[in-house]
Structure 1
């Protein structure tokens, strides 16, 4: 999930090229702290910002390999805090 300084967001994945699944606007600036969450379950990925679901998309498990997580930023100053990856209880 990518959030720009103006508050627009994009849910995307990359394999050999970039694929955008959904886009939207937070109606707030991204310069403030936000809580982002991605949940992968039974063929869907759900993206939440500050506890509110912003997108639920279907996905094909083979396009999103397991065991991968990353924090990325462009050419701007960013901060990350309390990053975690956890398995959902079954």
Structure 2
């Protein structure tokens, strides 16, 4: 569905805004992956090696339990999704 929104938006008007909608809808996993990969590159660690620097690990180190961390991540993902819907409606 996100691919259809991106392609449809790209054919209607080739703007950065039409490409931002699907990226924002999947904002949390995309930004988490980018931040973790950049951190690994800066520290000289292999990109394919697992570590505990993802958002959920950081939240749990800050004192949240598993349910609280996941609830917080759901909230952030919902905010990204709402922002993508707002951008989709604004561009029309």
TM > 0.5 fold call: no
The answer to which structure, 1 or 2, has the higher relative contact order (CA under 8 A, 6+ apart) is: 2
Return the structure number with greater helix share: 2
- TM-score interval (norm. to shorter): under 0.3
More strand by share: 1
TM-score computed with the length of structure 1 as normaliser: 0.25
Q: Which has the larger radius of gyration?
A: 2
TM-score under structure 2 normalisation? 0.24
